């Protein structure tokens, strides 16, 4: 199977030596307001990407293991180091530790499983992705995050994703960056266009749909994907743009939602139930559903509606 899958194209806006802040995208989806209740402890996210900077001060405490499925480092499975930067950036958005320096991820106490399926050039074979998903299933990951894609609908890839979902694993994928800003046209990337995955489009920090974000009927939600500050190679930081950057916001949000739901329901929710809990925590932005799906992920949306209901009820009672 020599067909190739690749990184969803992305843009490096700037590299930064030192920062100390909660990134704006993490704040936009209301993550800090949830941290009083949970920071994602005990939830494992498998990141299928270019590997990770394993010694980055914001990430090294979060990484619990991993595996290399590429030809980098002569195919040594125990070396899942990132030579590209993309995987490290994604990892930081999901779960950079709250350590009073650098950046903080959406779920800063979640576990990261680093599954290297793309090489230093950001390219990979479909069997690497398939093997990586099987590995994540075997390791009992709660969430699989994939900021990658290709134009081909590969049945073997679809089947293993269905297997993951059947194992109650949430699969989150970038919608793709071939968009034209119009909801009237369709652009498809796989695996992001499979119905079983949670397909993520991008918005900018002003809540406008990113022109590059793919539109189609399989887009589920949108999240910040432009000028996103996160961890980068050699212990540094960078601002990147792309649906690749929106996806980890949703993966991290799902870690928080799963943790909250486990506490509230006192059981593990199924994949469809967790998806429903995600959709409850979205706000529409006024765009075509092909562009924004159910809207922007907004973790406190449920609390807001409860407060509105209670206020309305109090008024009626008076």
Q: How far is CA 268 from CA 103, 110, 180, 253, in A?
A: 30, 16, 40, 16
Is 244 among the catalytic positions? yes
Question: What is the structure's pLDDT at 11?
Answer: 75
Residue 306 has pLDDT above 60, yes or no: no
| pLDDT band per the 50, 70, 90 thresholds, residue 315 | very low
Q: Which of 49, 58, 72, 189 is catalytic?
A: 49
Of residues 22 and 3, more confidently modeled: 22
Contact 242, 201 (CB under 8 A): no
Question: Count of CB atoms within 10 A of residue 296's CB?
Answer: 25
Q: What pLDDT, in 10s, does the model give residues 41-66?
A: 999 999 999 999 999 999 999 999 99
**Residue entry with tokens 């050039």:** 121
pLDDT at 6: 81
Q: Indicate if the pLDDT at residue 314 is higher than 90.
A: no
Per the CB < 8 A criterion, the answer to whether 58 and 97 are in contact is yes
pLDDT in tens, 82-94: 999 999 999 999 9
Active site residue 89: no
Q: How much is the mean pLDDT over the chain? A: 93
Contact 113, 141 (CB under 8 A): yes
CA dist., res. 256 & res. 267, Å (int): 15
242 contacts 11 by C-beta, under 8 angstroms: yes
Identify the H or E element spanning 315. Answer: helix 301-317
Q: Residue 305 — pLDDT band, cuts 50, 70, 90?
A: low
Query: For residue 114, what are the contacts with CB-CB under 8 A and spacing of at least 6?
Result: 47, 49, 51, 52, 54, 63, 65, 66, 67, 80, 87, 91
pLDDT in tens, 120-177: 999 999 999 999 999 999 999 999 999 999 999 999 999 999 999 999 999 999 999 9
From the candidates 215, 244, 251, 259, which is the catalytic residue? 244
Which of 56, 86, 89, 249 is catalytic? The answer is: 86
Q: Which of 147, 166, 156, 140 is nearest to 225 (CA)?
A: 147
Query: According to the model, what pLDDT value does residue 175 have?
Result: 97
Q: Considering only residues 16 and 69, tell me which one the structure prediction assigns the higher pLDDT.
A: 69
- From the CB of residue 312, how many other CB atoms can be counted at a distance below 10 Å? 10
Q: What does the pLDDT read at residue 1?
A: 44
Query: With contact defined as beta carbons under 8 Å apart, do 59 and 112 qualify?
Result: yes
Whole-angstrom distance, CA of residue 101 vs CA of residue 112:
19
Q: Give me the percent of the chain exceeding a pLDDT of 70.
A: 94
Residue-wise DSSP of 5-63: EEEPP-EEEEEES--EE--HHHHHTTHHHHTTT---TT-EEEEEES-B-TT-TTTTTTE
Residues 214-220: what's their mean pLDDT? 97
């Amino acid at each position: 199977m020599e067909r190739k899958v690749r990184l969803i194209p992305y843009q490096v806006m700037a590299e930064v030596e030192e920062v100390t802040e909660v990134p704006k995208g993490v704040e936009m989806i209301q993550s800090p307001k949830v941290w009083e209740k949970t920071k994602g402890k005990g939830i494992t996210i498998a990141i299928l990407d270019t590997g990770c900077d394993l010694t980055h001060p914001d990430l090294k405490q979060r990484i619990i293991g991993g595996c290399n499925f590429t030809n980098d480092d002569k195919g040594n499975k125990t070396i899942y180091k990132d030579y590209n930067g993309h995987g490290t950036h994604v990892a930081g958005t999901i779960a950079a530790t709250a350590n009073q320096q650098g950046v903080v991820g959406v779920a800063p106490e979640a576990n990261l499983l680093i599954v290297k399926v793309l090489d230093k050039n950001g390219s990979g074979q479909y069997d690497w992705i398939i093997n990586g998903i099987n590995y994540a299933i075997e390791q009992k990951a709660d969430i699989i995050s994939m900021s990658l894609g290709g134009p081909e609908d590969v049945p073997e890839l679809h089947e293993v994703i269905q297997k993951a979902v059947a194992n109650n694993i949430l699969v989150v994928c970038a919608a793709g960056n071939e968009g034209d800003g119009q909801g009237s046209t369709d652009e498809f990337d796989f695996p992001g266009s499979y119905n079983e995955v949670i397909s993520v489009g991008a918005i900018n920090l002003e809540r406008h749909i990113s022109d590059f974000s793919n539109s189609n009927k399989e887009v589920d939600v949108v999240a910040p994907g432009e000028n996103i500050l996160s961890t980068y190679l050699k212990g540094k930081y960078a601002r990147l743009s792309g649906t690749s950057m929106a996806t980890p916001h949703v993966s991290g949000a799902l870690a928080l939602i799963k943790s909250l739901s486990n506490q509230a329901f006192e059981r593990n929710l199924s994949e469809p139930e967790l998806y429903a809990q995600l959709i409850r925590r979205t706000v529409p932005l006024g765009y075509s559903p092909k562009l924004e799906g159910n809207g922007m992920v907004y973790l406190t949306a449920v609390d807001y509606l409860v407060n509105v209901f209670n206020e309305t009820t109090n008024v009626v009672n008076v």
